Structure 1
Amino acid sequence: MNDAKFYSFLGIIKKSGNLSSGYNTCEIQIKKGKGKMVLVAEDASHGTQDKFVNMCKANNIPFIIHGNKGDIGSSIGKMPTSVIVINDENMSKVVLNMLR
């Protein structure tokens, strides 16, 4: 898998309006049932990783722990970001296939 393509695709998802970022925003999206996939940075705190993994399992949402906060944040035009939620089913499938 090519990380450059992966991070570029995250930027495309952000521009399409189908990506939420940040701890609180992502938590709300998951609770509302809008999240189709969650990406948590490998260097996110263990508490953040555990919280979002457990939320995803409880809500039957696919999740991946991949990348680092700096790369994820810069790919979507933000500061370092620990967690993002993809809100589009098809785009989430593309991301999952890229990372598997």
Structure 2
Amino acid sequence: MKHNPKVLGLLGLAMRAGQVVSGEEGVLAAIKSQKVQLVLIAEDASQGTKKKFTDKSSYRDIPHRILFEKEVLGHAIGKKTRAVIGIVDPNFAKKMLEMIDCSH
């Protein structure tokens, strides 16, 4: 997916609002406790990481999307790199899904 600046901007806003969980362990814990509404997985994450988070989120009916590179995802939330990001707030998640799915 080409870098959609609107999605990345919304991701940064969600981070500043404290509605983002990042890093594999944090997102995994948030999925298990069903605190996340959307899981974003980097395109260049390892196959094992992609499979783990796709399976876990699908099992719990949490939408997920594979998009951007780790560096782009990380940069959007002020980190160096991130393979996985969870969106906690349902409104941010809904808007982000709309933006991602419309741009395909």
Give the shorter-chain TM-score range. over 0.9
Query: What's the CA shift for 1:33?
Result: 0.9
Runs of 4+ in 1 over 6 A off after TM superposition: none
Letter in 1 for 2:40: L
Aligned partners of 2:6, 2:41: CA distance in 1, in Å? 18
Q: Can you list the C-alpha shifts for 1:44-93, whole angstroms capped at 9, x where unaligned?
A: 00000000000011101000001110011011000110000000111100
Q: Does 1:93 align with 2:91?
A: no
Question: CA contact under 8 A between 2:10 and 2:92: conserved in structure 1?
Answer: no
Aligned partners of 1:57, 1:25: CA distance in 2, in Å? 17
Superposed CA RMSD in Å reads 1.2
Letter in 1 for 2:60: N
Query: What's the CA shift for 1:2?
Result: 6.5
Identity %: 36
Aligned partners of 2:7, 2:90: CA distance in 1, in Å? 17
Gaps of 5+ in 2: none
Aligned partners of 1:46, 1:11: CA distance in 2, in Å? 26
Letter in 2 for 1:24: E
Calculate the TM-score normalised by the size of structure 2: 0.93
Aligned partners of 1:2, 1:53: CA distance in 2, in Å? 21
Count of aligned pairs between the two proteins: 100
Aligned partners of 1:10, 1:73: CA distance in 2, in Å? 10
Q: How does 1:20-39 map to 2 (within 5 A)?
A: 20-39=21-40
Letter in 1 for 2:87: I
Calculate the TM-score normalised by the size of structure 1: 0.96
SS of aligned partner of 2:68: coil
